[in-house]
Amino acid sequence: MEEEFDFEFSEDGEQFVARYEEMMRNSDQYFFESQSFEYIIDAYISKGQVFKALEVVDYAINQHPFVAIFLIKKAQLLLFTNRFSDAFVALDKAEILAPSESDIYILRGNIYQSMDNHEQALLNFEKALSLEEDVEDILLQINYVYQNMGDYESAIVYLKRILEQNMENKDSLYELAFCYDVLNRQEECIQFYSEYIDKDPYSFAAWYNLANSYHKLDLYEKAIDAYDYAILIKEDFASAYYNKGNALVQLEKYAEAIEVYKQTFEYEPPNAETYCSMGECFEKLDRMEEARSYYRKAVKMNPEIADAWFGIGVTLNFEERYFESLHFYKKALDLEEDNPDFWFAIADAYYKLGQIDLSLFAYEKVLEYNPLDVEAWLDFSTVLYENKQTLEATEAILGGIKNNPDAAELYYRMVAYLFALNQIDEAMMYLETALNVDPEKHYILFEYLPQLQNNTLIVEAISRYIK
């Protein structure tokens, strides 16, 4: 029987799978070398047929009870199916057979990590470190454990250990940038990548992460320079083009940003996010038809991209097509119900359509989700005031002041409303507060109620602060 079915591994591996499946169809018993079983198991795993792979593993263990690799593969497959207890049993058996096999401890660490048992995960990964010469992947796993624990300081230590052994480990370069970002230590991140680039000036990943750190510190010119170096080294680096485009947007260089976004399409298929970003650039350039075209491309590719639906609404609003804009604002709102910007746009559209009650409701939603939006408080109160609800307008401003006590605009607006209510003494108290907060913004009061420029009390109060 052995002579008939003992194939050499140099033969076409698919013959092993075919022979195994023939055996199962015939309910027969063939013998396979351990290497043949490994190929069959891996073939099923590569096809995503986990349960078939498990069947083969059990058959292999029956024929080769003292080969630890099959117990390790069994544990791996059991982990895929979340059968952690059974996986531990298989690994315990494997450890008896091959206590020096690092894969046992790596896999056991992965299971503990899946169970959020970080302490045991670390113990097993450290055990694997002591047994393995090539430790980069293990160190990376330890980094992930510390990240899941929220201990990004320790994660950085292990990531740097990887880079000490292999400066070209791209995963570690990106993970390190992520950890610095979470810790909000961009200056330290810049220092690290600058020193790294001194040692390896042709690392596109280092230049890219350096650029991202500059970007997060609003140093957009430096970010663009670093993105350019990354692109110079790796011409097809689509993410670098995209982020460079974002930096140009921050500098209000919208036409340049559009051209850079277009370059991403030379190296990766167009995607909804890039189309949406291009739409925003055209919108900023007041080229609304082109903006709308790109927003529509974005939603056609990904109907779940709320900003693109919103962008279509913005372009229609610009063209005073308020009723049409509402349809698209609502499409965006269906995807992000708690987005205050969407509610603000809806409130404004309803106001322009004369649907005051709906506008007021939408403003209330804006302020529910973002009570720090001073403009929303001012606009909300304006709608109330124009609707002859002056007392309600003052109450709205009081709410705004409570949430934004340093916003001079709100105090000046309160002065206007109190004068309208003929509450002069209280109005003057608020004027003094407004002038203390920011005397230079006193013009706001006159923009809203020009007739107050002739009020002696107001003019005298302002003259004490403005010479």
* CATH 1.25.40.10 residue ranges for the chain: 185-269
Closest CA to 112 of 137, 139, 148: 148
**For the residues 182-207, what does the mean pLDDT come to?**
94
Closest to 221 (Cα-Cα) out of 262, 253, 186, 189:
253
pLDDT category at 3 given cuts 50, 70, 90 is very low
**Amino acid 20: pLDDT:** 67
CA torsion sign, 19 to 22 to 23 to 28?
A: negative
For residue 5, what pLDDT is reported?
A: 34
Question: What tens digit of pLDDT does each residue of 383-412 get?
Answer: 999 999 999 999 999 999 999 999 999 999
What is the band of 12 on the pLDDT scale with cuts at 50, 70, 90?
low
pLDDT of residue 7: 35
In the CATH scheme, what architecture does the domain 386-467 have? Answer: Alpha Horseshoe (1.25)
Range of weakest confidence among 43-47, 99-103, 192-196, 408-412 = 43-47
Inter-residue contact 404 to 410 (CB < 8 Å): yes
- pLDDT above 80 for 42: no
Which residues are within 8 A (CB) of 99 and not within 5 positions of it... i.e. 6 or more apart?
A: none
pLDDT digit string, tens, across residues 160-188: 999 988 888 989 999 999 999 999 999 99
Long-range contacts of 143-152 (CB under 8 A, 24+ apart): 143/172, 143/175, 144/113, 145/109, 145/113, 145/118, 145/121, 147/175, 147/179, 148/113, 148/116, 148/118, 149/118, 152/179, 152/182, 152/183
pLDDT of residue 2: 35
Domain spanning 185-269: which CATH class is it, in words? Answer: mainly alpha
More confident residue, 128 or 13: 128
**Residue 78's pLDDT band (boundaries 50, 70, 90)?**
confident
SS3 174: helix
pLDDT tens profile 268-294:
999 999 999 999 999 999 999 999 999
For the segment 27-39, the average pLDDT, to the nearest whole number, is 72
In this predicted structure, what is the pLDDT of residue 21? 67
Whole-prediction pTM: 0.78
